[in-house]
Copies of this chain bind each other. A is one copy, B any other.
């Protein structure tokens, strides 16, 4: 399956992205609207942070209907830690969007990303919604830009697959950058497809895809108040509605997984102040959960992450983390590799020369594989280093 880094709406969708004025820089778009021209199956995955942004609370209520028509989003303001007024503002965003598009308010999902604890500028939001509704187009290219915050590039992906013998498109946009961590960070991802999918099956597919993509990335270990992944499937392709019994279900599921993984990796690549992408494999754990705990502890260790920034991924710092990560270990059974080079064997220095290691680690991405030597549990995390620039970017 070929993933293209482009934004092509599936049939029956229109979108727009505008500068409403939430961001002070007039050249930066800050609002996005996506509309399905017919009722669509809807599914969503939301942050597990107890402090949830107002729009997340709203969407979590609405998603139980399993249907949706539109996504309205703003960047520059997260509408989080804004109390009861924030909830009213989120509802008002949906109401205004319903009025501007003629859709039912209950079918509109609201997303915000940006600064926390600041009231939404509702006059600006209202005028932005008017502009968006006026500019909706099936050929729009701006929607993926309207959701960006400190991202340095757009994150889009599209692919087509054959379902019931006919071509079906899946497209997605995402934003990431700061505060990216294991359990979904300040990240948004909207997926659109013209496939017909039964709602419960769509939710199950999204859970699976998110579990192997956005929940496998870690930049700084923090977990945001606004993380949301949302999918709309409008059925324009006319296929027999997909569910796990459909012969082409695996095709659809793999496409969803491939798109979300692609975007997750693009988010890591654009992490604030990161210079290296590390694919971290932990294997040989007693079980998958142990492997996951160990991987997350490694990916969240400041000493490990700063060592990655410095080209030399000191094996002993990883050993140190494995010792406090939680899962039981046997120091003498641990092997660690950088790509295929052993850097620790049996818990000791493997003796690989610094030059050999540097030949790998000077690249902008490489893998680290930790074999605990205890069982068959394994986990993978896509993570990054911690640079001086990361600190500089997040000081203010």
Which chain B residues border A96 with CB–CB below 8 Å?
none
Q: Assuming A306-B391, A309-B395, is B324 touching A48 (CB within 8 A)?
A: yes
Cα A153 to Cα B320 with chains together (Å): 26
In the assembled complex, A388 has its CB within 8 A of some CB on chain B: yes
Answer whether residue A221 sits at the interface, using C-beta atoms and an 8 A cutoff.
yes
* Inter-chain contacts of A49 with B (CB < 8 A): 320, 323-324
Chain A, range 281-335, C-beta contacts under 8 Å to B: 300-303, 306-307, 309-312, 315-317, 319-324, 328-329, 331-332
Main secondary structure of the interface of A (DSSP, over half): loop
The answer to whether residues A51 and B183 also contact, given A302-B221, A388-B391 and a CB cut-off of 8 A, is no
User: With A and B bound together, what is the CA distance between A344 and B322 in angstroms?
Assistant: 37
Report B-chain residues with C-beta under 8 Å of the C-beta of A211. Answer: none
Which residues of chain B are within 8 angstroms of A390 by Cβ–Cβ distance?
302, 306, 391
Is A386 in the interface zone, CB < 8 Å from B?
Answer: yes
Residues of B within 8 A of A115 (CB): 316
30 contacts between A and B (CB under 8 A): A49-B324, A50-B322, A50-B331, A51-B319, A80-B320, A81-B316, A81-B348, A83-B332, A83-B348, A116-B319, A117-B315, A117-B316, A117-B344, A117-B348, A117-B349, A118-B349, A183-B324, A220-B303, A221-B301, A221-B302, A222-B301, A223-B324, A224-B320, A225-B320, A302-B386, A306-B394, A306-B395, A309-B395, A388-B388, A388-B392
- Using a CB–CB cutoff of 8 Å, the interface residues on chain A facing chain B are 48-52, 80-83, 115-118, 178-179, 183, 220-225, 300-303, 306-307, 309-312, 315-317, 319-324, 328-329, 331-332, 344, 346-349, 386-388, 390-392, 394-396
Q: Inside 8 A of A331's CB, which chain B residues have their CB?
A: 50-51, 81
